[in-house]
Structure 1
């Protein structure tokens, strides 16, 4: 086994371990709103309602303060992916991450456009799903209430 493959194997093992820890944490949550308490069958979804508003939130520095360090976690996760999955050295990884962010707004978009990845779900697993958010974020009841109330307000 080569040196690079050893690091890639270690990296993948760490990702698997963290995802397992994240899943265990999610299963341990018991507070209100922490679980979906109804069946979700994608074959039985209602017809889209064009009048209904849908909001998508990015958690790093959007829903949570910079002080939570979620963005730093994301940057480290991206850097590791570029190094261990794609084989770039530290400098090239950082240069590409910055370049793709500036040019495309998202690193993943740059990776797709430049045909460096073809499996976006795998990318998501390595980048987002493997973040130990439970170590950085705590339930924010005011934020939860604000998001719940978005549906009740008429927003134009």
Structure 2
């Protein structure tokens, strides 16, 4: 992911009002992040409980900022994150909803998805699981997991913007 600044993040939001963007709490470690190891940037707002944000690279590479709302309810059973789809279930997964872009969002339409609570997907897909058999190509598997995460993240951004 390309390094982001506070101004770039604030100008990238597609489903938030100007007021919501202006009061959004941003991460304070933007200049020390390992951007090469991130497929998207996600964080919780320290000022507003249940509010989170993600900046997702769109298919054309531009950043797409998304305001997310975390559900108060916990799933009745363990779930798998829709973005990293890690079957080891090492992270807590919660339901997030995002208002759609444009007229659809103004009418109250949202998109929901299950995600790692603390947005650890980039770390999860880079952490190698135990090799299933001798000779397993761990590097190729890691590249495949990263690529699939990037496709799902870009697909979510596209779905919010286009409504498809």
With the length of structure 1 as denominator, give the TM-score of the two structures: 0.27
Which has more radius of gyration?
1
Higher strand proportion (structure 1 or 2): 2
Which protein has greater RCO, CA pairs closer than 8 Å, 6+ apart? 1
Higher helix proportion (structure 1 or 2): 1
With the length of structure 2 as denominator, give the TM-score of the two structures: 0.26
